[in-house]
Amino acid sequence: MRSLKLTALVSAASMAVLSAIPAGAANASTPDISSYFVKPTFEYFNEADVNGIVGLKLPKTVSAHVEVTFDSPEGLAFPYYTTDVKAGGIAAFQIEGYSNTEDDYRNYHINIQMTGGTYNTSASPFTEEFTVPDINDDPDSFVAVGYEFKLDDKISESDIEYTGTKQLTGTYKGKEVTADIKSYNLHLNGVIKGDVTGEGVVDGSDATLVLKEFGSQLAGNGTTLDARQLLAADVDGDGTVDGSDATLILKYFGLIAANQTPNWDDIIPKN
């Protein structure tokens, strides 16, 4: 068996599939993760060359579309894995090791697009780039890595926040392996009043979306906003999104532009 050494960026990532497997699936301390393997898209995939595993665990209300590609001397972005992971699902991807010389290499890329939470919204794509060198002088070594995501309602400029790394032991083809577990929080349930665009600030573009939504309602068309945006747009809390909400957002933004600290309680009319 070849050994696995990931780049610094990915070597700290988590093997969440190991931590997520029920104790009864195998031994409680060394679970077998093979039941979570995804079938490769790449037709020339050779399981005998597998040196490691990348995996992920999703919150119970979040699903994901996952793509793994690689660049090589033959071209860019060769499809390696493409799959949809259901809400609360677990997936594992076997990765082939490569010599990674100047004329013979593979640079892998993983892209995880997650959607869900209370408002069924999409997070910014989670991406990593890594390599899996083919080092033959340590044939019995094997390293597993992966990602574990947890949902919260924190307000943040970034949808995804790293929270820490731990290690876990599991089995692969009867052999014990140690995985780095890197956890992330998904801030999909947080809503900033007036931030309809989801950019983390309240400005004129938010008022524009509110007016667009109001116009669509007046025309008898469907909503132009998702559930999270609708909640952010209804700044006066009257259960509707209309011109008055756009006006209040512009007032809020005007105070920011004037280097003042706005407060919704001072801006929203009292009943």
Q: What are phi and psi of 178, to 5 degrees?
A: -110, 130
Per-residue pLDDT reduced to its tens digit, 167-190: 888 777 777 778 888 999 999 888
- Model confidence at 70, pLDDT cuts 50, 70, 90, reads very high
- For domain 204-267, the CATH architecture is Orthogonal Bundle (1.10)
pLDDT confidence of residue 107: 94
Query: Average pLDDT, stretch 52-57?
Result: 91
Residue 236 amino acid letter:
D
Per-residue pLDDT reduced to its tens digit, 96-151: 988 778 888 999 999 999 999 988 888 889 999 988 777 654 455 566 788 999 99
pLDDT confidence of residue 153: 86
Q: Are strands 107-116 and 121-122 parallel, antiparallel or unpaired?
A: antiparallel
pLDDT confidence of residue 141: 58
Mean pLDDT across the chain: 84
Q: In the chain, what are the domain boundaries?
A: 8-186, 204-267
DSSP 49: G
Query: Average pLDDT, stretch 207-225?
Result: 94
Contact, 241 vs 230, CB < 8 A?
Answer: yes
Contact, 62 vs 188, CB < 8 A?
Answer: yes
Cα→Cα distances 5→23, 127, 132, 145, 148, Å: 28, 19, 6, 10, 20
pLDDT confidence of residue 148: 95
Closest CA to 86 of 106, 63, 105, 65: 63
Query: Average pLDDT, stretch 83-96?
Result: 96
Number of neighbouring beta carbons within 10 Å of residue 197: 16
Side by side, which strands form the sheet with 50-57?
90-96, 50-57, 143-151, 175-186, 160-172
Number of neighbouring beta carbons within 10 Å of residue 228: 22
Residue 259 amino acid letter:
N
Spell out the long-range contacts of 156-164 with Cβ–Cβ below 8 A and sequence spacing 24 or more.
Answer: 156/187, 156/190, 156/200, 157/200, 158/124, 158/187, 159/123, 159/124, 159/186, 159/187, 159/188, 160/123, 160/124, 160/126, 160/184, 160/185, 160/186, 160/187, 161/185, 161/187
- Model confidence at 194, pLDDT cuts 50, 70, 90, reads very high
Per-residue pLDDT reduced to its tens digit, 218-233: 999 989 998 889 999 9
